[in-house]
Amino acid sequence: SAADHRAIDEGLGRIAGEIAAGAFPFSAQLEDIHMNIEARLKDLIGAPALRLHTARSRNDQVAVDFRLWCRKAADEAAAAIDALQRALLAQAERHADWVMPGYTHLQIAQPVTLGHHLLAYVEMLERDCTRFIDASARMNECPLGAAALAGTPYPIDRDMTAEALGFARPTANSLDSVSARDFALETLATAAICASHLSRLAEEIVLWTSPHFGFAALTDAFSTGSSIMPQKKNP
């Protein structure tokens, strides 16, 4: 009924506020987050709280929460990479004609420009950004309605719930909806590849700011001293 809907909506809003404020009375006796919320909602609004799980299972709720979290992480990573690329591009343009040695095996090999060197990282990061965007697009399907594994007999509108949560569409197969975890592995793999590129960039900054190279200098904001050797300035 409309009254039950209003009561559940208001009750969940209050619970969200309690969780955000660190005031929610979690109980280990209630098994998991779902049962804790349902029990608290029942305390707040009574019997209507028992309708909270209608046409829902913990299985499809966990699946949708997991996808939402991974999708947000992938989208935020893509945005952060884009910002880093813009910074690298600006430096590459500024130093387009600055000639520097290119190295192999830490031996001087061929002349390059600093701009060309920095653009190598822009290319690496472009692949990383594309991978995060692709991963986000692949996981952008809503599992709600799959229930435990075979759907629900209730006449729900899966397109509506998918749209409300910002998904492109509902998932196509209920069993796959609640069992798939490859989207998380894809996100992790993409993050690992990106981390290898960021590690390369960080290590070059360490090398370039060392006394042996002296190509660059870091401000104190990005450096620290040694606990015993006052002449050191560590990146």
> Residue 226 catalytic?
yes
**Of residues 27, 223, 226, 227, which has the active-site annotation?**
226
**Of residues 105, 117, 136, 212, which has the active-site annotation?**
105
DSSP the chain: -HHHHHHHHHHHHHHHHHHHTT-----GGG-SHHHHHHHHHHHHH-GGGGGTTTT--HHHHHHHHHHHHHHHHHHHHHHHHHHHHHHHHHHHHHTTT-EEEEEETTEEEEEEEHHHHHHHHHHHHHHHHHHHHHHHHHT-EE-TT-TTTT--SS---HHHHHHHTT-SEE-S-HHHHHH--HHHHHHHHHHHHHHHHHHHHHHHHHHHTSTTT-S----GGG-B--SS-TT--B-
Q: Return the active site residues.
A: 105, 226
